[in-house]
Structure 1
Amino acid sequence: MTRTYKSDVSASLHELASDLHEVGLIDKATMRHFDESCLTPIHEFTAEDIRKLREREQVSQTIFAAYLNVSKDSVSQWERGQKQPAGPSLKLLSLVERKGLSSIA
């Protein structure tokens, strides 16, 4: 599973914590804390949020969809509020929001 971290330092800390968890020196509750603090946060996006994000990046729905590896119809439905992004798409939208479209190119 690919993880997206807030920074290189967070990635290193999380990797260390994961190793300590594997050998039994860190419990599950502590590991969850590391997950929350090191991994890129995800939140729900409204239709308006998605449209503004795409427009901020100055790309068409087709290009935006290609970067997110979804169909143009999915982006269109998200922007109209007919469907909500989930899973990997939601994670990618969070990354684009924080770091720009070039972060997932």
Structure 2
Amino acid sequence: MTDIQNTLSAMAKDLYEVGAIDKTTLRQFDPHSLPPVPHYTAKQITAIRQTLGLSQSVFAAYLNVSDRAVKKWEQGEAKPKGATLKLLSIVERKGLDVIAL
């Protein structure tokens, strides 16, 4: 980040701490304030899917991945990455309705 960006980021954090701006506004100024995307174990992925009451193939369709990918995640042979990892995080926190069309 540039000096200007660093200054704006620091100012936004200070304003958030004193209650002058909310979290949404803070994120507009400071991308580093976004929460980190968690990494999931095979058991956690299985638990998310089972909590939703979905088969591996239906869960895969919602995440726009192959059912083979979900199977590998749940067996610990592979790990979700990138946008799929973010989608898993969203589904875990907010439910399936937020990504369902």
**Structure 2 match to 1:35:** 31
Structure with greater contact order relative to length (CA < 8 Å, sep ≥ 6): 1
Q: SS state of the match for residue 41, structure 1?
A: coil
Listed one character per residue, the Cα deviations across residues 11-42 of structure 1 (whole Å, up to 9, x for unaligned) are 44433x2xxxxxxxxxxxxxxxx2232x3531
In structure 2, the gaps of 5 or more residues are 1-21
In percent, how many aligned pairs have the same letter? 47
**Structure 2 match to 1:56:** 51
Output aligned runs, 1:1-105, within 5 Å. 10-15=23-28, 17=29, 34-37=30-33, 39-105=34-100
> Which structure would you say has the larger Rg?
2
Distance 1:70 1:35, change over 3 A: same
Pairs aligned (count)? 79
Which amino acid in structure 2 is aligned with residue 69 of structure 1?
Answer: N
Q: Distance in 2 between matches of 1:101 and 1:40?
A: 20
TM-score by length of 1: 0.68
TM-score by length of 2: 0.70
In structure 1, the gaps of 5 or more residues are 1-8, 18-33
**Structure 2 match to 1:21:** none
